[in-house]
């Protein structure tokens, strides 16, 4: 008989390793979970079989920080998601009290006593499941993380208004639906960046779904008018191409935000048995000023990281805030833009840009404590400006609690972990972000190169770095990553070539003045990379 390791607590398809405090899959690999979710799991494991009261969990995990029950609900949903289909059986909700974890080590030990190797058991189980699926005609090719949860992509709605100037409104509607759906912990939602690649595609629903690794697609069209908006939406099961439902909305333009929420809730209700809804807070006053402010924000969204583009976007946002001063999302977007101006040295007054970023993010959170964008901005300010890694971690964790499906947040979290010498977790979160947003923007490769380099996965770092450099051709940061990776491998000719390119493009470059972009938590880590840079030829 194979004895179960005493420190492993079986939880569905996963196991909690009490020795390391990690959640592991059937192969013993670490499953990425946010720190708060792991802390909640640790508390539940300690109370195995007993009721863990909500107030006790919150007190232990969050201490003196005030949070609502929604934060705990989100953590439990995260844990259930990675456990798989048995999630609700393993972690049971006790109404009005809390949760009970039910784990049975004996059952796992019994399952292993026949002496099968892990590999042979997996092959046998896979063959049985595959045979059942083939027999039932239910084979559906794409694999995705957390396959027990419904996976959906919102394709860009078609603009039927005939006015290209109104395209921003239609695109904004599609992105808003994606953001709203991301708040439902029981759904796996593909990023708009990936789904928008299929604008106008003639491919079948099945083909698109396979490329995005989802089962469900939301499609539709929007006909915006001066006073009214007509919206047609259809939820498709791409496995068989059938429509699960279709809806038509004819609504006053001022009510568009309510329609977004209603549509999001209906999709979630169709795909999951029980909803744990995080409330979205936008400008919902229904006034003409609020609507105009919302439309201005849509026009300002997603500017290029260029001085002129960011200044133009900020002008639109300032105009929106004159119409709706308490529009939290606009303040958060403004904070993000000012931070970009500061980080990339695009502002004429760098200290002012940083002050404006702090002020706008503070205002956004004062208006809406669930503004994940503002919490993300604060995380970057704490990291790059203040070198306060603990506060940076608290802020990005809060952002992920609010919007656990946002791939960009996962990338930011990965970056922070890399600077904190938690390179294994950094790699996990970077790869998770790429799965969440399979047609990701190129800057994801930039981040991946960094976390692979600090994890000493240097071959991968070089591959990812070259992908990023093909687009960001003048980047000194990417070249420094490549210097580090080649330096680790002893490939000094390549490392020195990248150093020469940096100095050709930036003759005044000095390591001592570039500390802002390398906020390592531990001095020995910073010294290690500075030594590599110096050896390649970069001056102090």
On the question of pLDDT at 514 being above 90, the answer is: no
Greatest mean pLDDT among 9-18, 116-125, 206-215: 206-215
Quickly name the fold that domain 8-111 has: Arc Repressor Mutant, subunit A (1.10.10)
Task: Determine the pLDDT at residue 70.
Answer: 65
Report how far residue 283's alpha carbon sits from residue 305's, in angstroms, rounded to the nearest whole number.
Answer: 27
Please name the residue ranges forming H helices in 63-146: 69-83, 87-90, 105-112, 118-136
Average pLDDT over residues 321-329: 89
- Give the tokens for residue 436: 């969440």
Instruction: Determine the distance from the C-alpha atom of residue 202 to the mean position of all C-alpha atoms in its chain, rounded to a whole number.
Output: 29
Check whether domain 280-402 has CATH 1.25.40.10, yes or no: yes
Top-confidence residue, 284 or 456: 456
Instruction: Determine the distance from the C-alpha atom of residue 395 to the mean position of all C-alpha atoms in its chain, rounded to a whole number.
Output: 14
Fold equal for 280-402 and 406-540: yes
Q: Angle 144-145-147 (CA atoms, 0-180°, nearest 5)? A: 70
Question: pTM of whole model > 0.95?
Answer: no
Query: Would you give the DSSP letter of residue 50?
Result: S
- The least confident of 5-9, 278-282, 395-399 is 278-282
- Rounded to 5 degrees, what are φ and ψ at 167? -60, -35
Report how far residue 418's alpha carbon sits from residue 447's, in angstroms, rounded to the nearest whole number.
Answer: 9
The CATH code belonging to domain 151-271 is 3.40.50.10610
Task: Determine the pLDDT at residue 172.
Answer: 80
On the question of pLDDT at 92 being above 50, the answer is: yes
Report how far residue 299's alpha carbon sits from residue 303's, in angstroms, rounded to the nearest whole number.
Answer: 9
On the question of pLDDT at 526 being above 70, the answer is: yes
- Give the tokens for residue 84: 């798989």
Top-confidence residue, 234 or 513: 234
Nearest to 213 by CA among 232, 231, 195, 197: 195
Q: Is 204 left (phi over 0), alpha (psi -120 to 50) or beta?
A: beta
CATH superfamily of 406-540: Tetratricopeptide repeat domain (1.25.40.10)
Segments making up each domain of the chain, as ranges: 8-111, 151-271, 280-402, 406-540
Task: Determine the pLDDT at residue 127.
Answer: 29
């Amino acid at each position: 008989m194979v004895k179960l390791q005493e420190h492993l607590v079986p939880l569905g398809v996963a196991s909690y390793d009490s020795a390391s405090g990690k959640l592991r899959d059937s192969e013993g690999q670490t499953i990425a979970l946010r720190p708060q979710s792991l802390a909640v799991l640790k508390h539940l494991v300690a109370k195995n079989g007993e009721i863990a009261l909500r107030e006790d969990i919150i007190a232990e995990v969050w201490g003196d920080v005030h949070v609502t029950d929604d934060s705990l609900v989100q953590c439990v949903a995260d844990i259930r998601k990675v456990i798989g289909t048995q999630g609700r059986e393993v972690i049971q909700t006790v109404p009005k009290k809390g949760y009970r974890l039910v784990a049975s080590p004996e059952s796992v030990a019994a399952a292993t006593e026949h002496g099968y190797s892990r590999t042979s058991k997996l092959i046998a189980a896979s063959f049985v499941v595959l045979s059942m699926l083939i027999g039932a005609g239910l084979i559906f090719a794409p694999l995705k993380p957390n396959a027990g949860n419904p996976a959906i992509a919102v394709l860009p709605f078609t603009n039927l208004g005939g006015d290209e100037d109104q395209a921003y409104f239609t695109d904004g509607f599609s992105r808003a639906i994606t953001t709203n759906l991301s708040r439902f912990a029981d759904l796996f939602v593909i990023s708009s960046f990936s789904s928008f690649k299929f604008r106008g595609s003639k491919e079948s629903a099945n083909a698109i779904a396979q490329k995005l690794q989802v089962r469900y697609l939301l499609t539709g069209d929007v006909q915006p008018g001066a006073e009214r908006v007509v919206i047609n939406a259809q939820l498709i099961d791409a496995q068989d191409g059938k429509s699960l439902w279709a809806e038509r909305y004819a609504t006053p333009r001022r009510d568009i935000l309510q329609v977004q929420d209603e549509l999001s809730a209906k999709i979630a209700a169709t795909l999951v048995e029980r909803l744990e809804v995080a409330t979205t807070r936008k400008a919902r006053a229904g006034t003409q000023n609020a609507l105009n402010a919302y439309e201005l924000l849509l026009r300002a969204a997603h500017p290029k990281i260029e001085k002129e583009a960011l200044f133009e976007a900020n002008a639109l946002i300032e105009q929106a805030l004159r119409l709706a001063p308490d529009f939290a999302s606009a303040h958060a977007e403004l904070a993000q833009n000012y931070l970009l101006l500061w980080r990339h040295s695009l502002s004429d007054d760098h200290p002012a840009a940083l002050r404006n970023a702090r002020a706008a993010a503070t205002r956004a959170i004062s208006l809406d404590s669930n503004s994940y964008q503002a919490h993300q901005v604060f995380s970057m300010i704490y990291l790059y400006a203040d070198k306060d890694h603990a506060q940076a971690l608290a802020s990005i964790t809060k952002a992920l609690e609010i919007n656990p499906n946002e791939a960009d947040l996962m990338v930011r979290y990965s970056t922070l972990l890399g600077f904190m010498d938690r390179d294994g977790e950094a790699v996990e979160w970077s790869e998770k972000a790429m799965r969440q947003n399979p047609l990701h923007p190129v800057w994801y490769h930039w981040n991946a190169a960094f976390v692979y380099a600090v994890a000493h996965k240097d071959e991968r770092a070089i591959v990812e770095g070259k992908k990023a450099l093909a687009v960001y051709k003048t980047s000194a940061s990417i070249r420094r990553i490549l210097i580090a990776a080649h330096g680790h491998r002893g490939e000094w000719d390549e490392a020195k070539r990248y150093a020469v390119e940096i100095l050709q493009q930036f003759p005044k470059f000095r390591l001592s003045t570039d500390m802002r972009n390398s906020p390592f938590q531990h001095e020995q880590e910073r010294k290690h990379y500075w030594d590599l840079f110096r050896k390649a030829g970069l001056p102090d």
